[in-house]
Amino acid sequence: MAVSLRSARVVRSMGCGRIADHGFLADGRSAVLVDRYGSVNWWCPARFDAPSVFARLLDDDAGHWMICPDGRFSTERAYLTDTLVLRTVFTTATGSVAVTDALALEPGARGHEVGLRSPRVLARVVRGLSGEVRLRLHYRPRFEYGRMAAQLVRQDDALVAIAASARLDLRATIPLECEAGEASGSFTVRAGETRGFTVGYAPAYGAGPPAMLDAEQVIDNAVAGWRSFMGLHDYRGLYRDQVLRSALVVQGMTYRPSGAMVAAPTMSLPEELGGERNYDYRYGWVRDFSFTLEALWRVACTDEVNLQIGWLARSMGVNEGIVPIMYGVEGERDLTEHHLDHLAGYAGSRPVMVGNDAWQQRQSDVPGEALAAAWLMREHLDPMPPHVRQLLRAMIERAEQDWHLPDAGMWEARGAARHYVSSKVQCWTALDRAVRFGSRLGSEADVARWAAARDEVRRAVLTRGWSDRLAAFTAAFDTEELDASVLLMPLVGFLPADDPRMRSTIRLIEDRLSHNGLLRRWEGDPAGFVICSFWLVSCLALTGERDRAGRLFERLAERVNDLGLFAEQIDPYSGEALGNFPQAFSHIGLINAAGDLTDLDSGSYDLPPAPDRLIPSFEESGRRVSDQRR
């Protein structure tokens, strides 16, 4: 698609492209988003949840670094194979150039060492491919989420910006003009010529200047490092390319010093354009951790499990009262939310939020997801380390105590707490896996008590979570609202997918909440939620509709952007990517659905059968469900 800087700006009211126009770079501590027009629009270099130095995603004045042709151009881009190194080819009427972007990895770091230490340097290399191309560079750092500009000072071969607690050093191989806290320059690149640029970050006090690294060497080392990491993965199932790309994206969202995985590297990208649900996702959710363990197991990268479990055990510690369901990347608990009123917001979507008040919520589904992941990984937890045993017992006790209480649910509702069905189901999951682990959880294990609580939860769900009128399981006890989260019921073994109750529920949810292959979480949700759509894939396959499940998977897999990246949500009508980006949950959904299809085809699906003692079968209960779609 041919574009000019003028036409690029009419995509929306700000200078950067749409959410899906962005590529994703990572270094094990932070992430960069760079759009197809050559503009770096997001970087929080200290760590994922630190203040930004480039935040054009949220306001045109909040900082960016652009390198692109001067005039009309077309773009074609791709990641270098098995890496998070991005190559963008710009073609103009006079020639073509490639811009290769990467966040630096520690020189020589390979395999599981990748990302443990980061030089915190962003490198960009421009290489002439044909003819000659006139380019321009615009560098506009803005600190503290765009609040602060900095005077640019030349020191040796660097252009230094210091403000607040951050320092940035820009090193360029072209002359630059400075004015009012920004720098610009124009240059021509001919076929075979190369220009290298780096921006390095360091704290303003006590750490010395940013690392001095050669741009081309940064690119080469990043390629070798990411490829060595991907060489540790041995996934041989269906949709291998898509699965491994998603695994690499998930790894890129992992804060390697602690093992925490952020839900997304961005904040306040809206679930609905112009709407108010604009949350900060740059933290580690226990729920996401649990689904991630399953994904790591799928892609045969189980060596990462101990790192992630270690982070969770240290973060949770010993708790009284509500167990936090999310943490900062180094285990911080107080993530109090506040608004940045000086920022316009993406497409005018305000408020712009830093922090996330969901950290104070009760979300009773979390123990079940953690125990389900541990059960799946049980062979790799044998013998079970004491800190893991303690962590799982604490989760079990929380599920046993909290299952009868209302909560905020897995969608983190900000209104009054309710008795969400999926939360109860996951409490059942925690207790069910506790019973299965038995004495492996230590001498304190009380299997009989856990089994009794498990069966009590099950009875409550089958009685109060079911609507005779809808012939479906509902969002919460004693309501007739639908919620896609109940699709987890067969995936955790609560009921078989081909049970008439589940069949009817799956059909009704697909009927009312699905459009163009995308499943909304609830009626009124503004867009399709990607991971829910992948849950539907697994449910359809488990009901015996394997071909239709495969077709739906492939249709969903095509909803990525041109670099294979998923947002959190997708508008089912326009196809617009919405929500924070890229979204770990969405990529984990793809991995796990592909794994489910692979396991079902091979006959190795690892799902504990639902216990049937004390619980009447559907037929015995006297209820009947019509097989006709409502």
DSSP 53-117: SB-TTT-TTS-EEEEEESS-EEEEEEEPTTSS-EEEEEE-SSEEEEEEEEEPPPTT--GGGTTSS
Q: Kind of pairing, strands 73-79 and 2-3? A: antiparallel
Strands (E), 268-325: 284-285
Task: Output phi, psi for 67, to 5 deg.
Answer: -130, 120
Where does 240-602 sit in CATH, by number? 1.50.10.10
pLDDT at 607: 61
Distance CA 567, CA 517 (A): 16
pLDDT at 388: 86
Considering Cα of 585, then 586, then 587, then 593, what sign does the dihedral take? positive
DSSP state of 193: -
Distance CA 188, CA 185 (A): 10
Residue 132's H or E segment, with its range, is strand 121-140
pLDDT at 310: 76
Q: List helix spans (H) across 417-529.
A: 421-437, 447-464, 488-491, 500-513
- Taking residue 103's Cβ as centre, other Cβ atoms within 10 Å add up to 26
89 closest CA partner among 105, 102, 104, 78? 78
Residue ranges per domain, the chain? 2-230, 240-602
- Taking residue 612's Cβ as centre, other Cβ atoms within 10 Å add up to 9
Where does 2-230 sit in CATH, by number? 2.70.98
Distance CA 49, CA 346 (A): 18
pLDDT at 621: 33
pLDDT at 315: 81
In the chain, which residues have pLDDT < 50? 1-14, 611-630
Distance CA 160, CA 142 (A): 13
Distance CA 205, CA 585 (A): 36
Q: For residues 207, 117, 317 and 371, what is the CA-based torsion angle, rounded to 10 degrees?
A: 160
Integer angstrom CA distances of residue 508 from 500, 511, 537, 617, 622: 12, 5, 15, 21, 21
pLDDT single digits (tens) 216-233: 999 999 999 999 999 988
Distance CA 373, CA 367 (A): 10
3-state SS assignment for residue 583: coil
Q: Kind of pairing, strands 121-140 and 64-69? A: antiparallel
pLDDT single digits (tens) 581-594: 999 999 999 999 99
pLDDT at 35: 98
pLDDT at 322: 63
Contact between residue 263 and residue 587 where contact means Cβ atoms under 8 Å apart: no
pLDDT at 53: 97
Distance CA 263, CA 178 (A): 37
Contact between residue 97 and residue 189 where contact means Cβ atoms under 8 Å apart: yes
pLDDT at 319: 57
pLDDT at 3: 31
Label residues 280-310 b or e (16+ Cβ within 10 Å = b).
Answer: bbbbbbbbbbbbbbbbbbbbebeebbebbbb
Considering Cα of 45, then 49, then 50, then 56, what sign does the dihedral take? positive
Length of the chain, in residues: 630
